[in-house]
């Protein structure tokens, strides 16, 4: 009886190796050192100083930073419930897993922002630019306040028009 030896192509081996790495590679831990304001409210002048501050895990509930320039700011896991960010300039900001429920982002520039797993329930996104936001889902948009002036990624607009569920 002869054995058959199946040979895997190098590309197939590479795909399996990359898959194994993504399934086993540990996610980077967020430490208190990397989030110095975790659970705290920042001083008012921190938001008006130069450079994008690290606001990860900070409590920004109800804060008024309308018109702020926080491009590239680290706001992952921050609490921004009811925050007033009307017209804020936030390109490249990280809102991953942030709670933005009830926030006002009317007319805000959210280009290149990361909104993966962010809570956008009842967020005012009227006139906001989300055209190149990453991690944005149909469910997030359905839970937010939008209109024809909200600038969404083309693929998301297409999916919403056709009633396709993209999570």
| Cα angle 97-165-27, degrees, rounded to a multiple of 5 | 30
User: For the stretch 12-22, what's the b/e string if a residue is b when 16 or more beta carbons lie within 10 angstroms of its beta carbon?
Assistant: eeeeeeeeeee
Yes or no: say if 111 and 91 are a contact pair by the CB < 8 Å rule: yes
Q: What is the pLDDT of residue 108?
A: 95
| Burial classification of residue 162, based on how many CB atoms lie within 10 Å of its CB (0-12 exposed, 13-18 middle, 19 or more buried) | exposed
- Region of 49 please: left (phi>0), alpha (psi -120 to 50) or beta: beta
Yes or no: say if 101 and 83 are a contact pair by the CB < 8 Å rule: no
Check residue 135 and report its DSSP letter: S
Q: 165 phi and psi, to 5 degrees?
A: -85, 115
| CATH for the stretch 34-167 | 2.160.20.80
Q: Indicate the range of 44-53, 97-106, 136-145, 149-158 predicted with least confidence.
A: 44-53
Sketch the domain layout of the chain as residue ranges. 34-167
Q: What is the pLDDT of residue 19?
A: 46
pLDDT in tens, 35-81: 988 988 887 666 666 666 789 999 999 988 877 778 899 999 999 99
- How far is 140 from 145, CA to CA, in rounded Å? 10
């Amino acid at each position: 009886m002869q054995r058959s030896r199946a040979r895997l192509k190098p590309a197939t081996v590479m795909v399996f190796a990359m898959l194994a790495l993504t399934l086993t590679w540990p996610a980077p831990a967020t430490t208190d050192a990397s989030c110095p304001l975790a659970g705290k409210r920042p001083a008012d002048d921190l938001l008006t100083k130069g450079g994008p501050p690290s606001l990860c895990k900070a409590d920004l509930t109800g804060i008024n930073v309308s018109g702020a320039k926080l491009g590239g700011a680290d706001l992952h896991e921050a609490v921004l419930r009811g925050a007033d960010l009307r017209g804020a300039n936030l390109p490249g900001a990280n809102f991953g897993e942030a709670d933005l429920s009830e926030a006002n982002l009317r007319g805000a520039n959210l280009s290149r922002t990361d909104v993966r797993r962010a809570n956008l329930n009842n967020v005012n996104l009227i006139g906001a630019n989300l055209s190149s936001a990453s991690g944005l889902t149909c469910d997030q948009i359905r839970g937010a306040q939008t209109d024809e002036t909200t600038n969404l990624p083309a693929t998301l607009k297409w999916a919403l028009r056709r009633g396709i569920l993209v999570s």
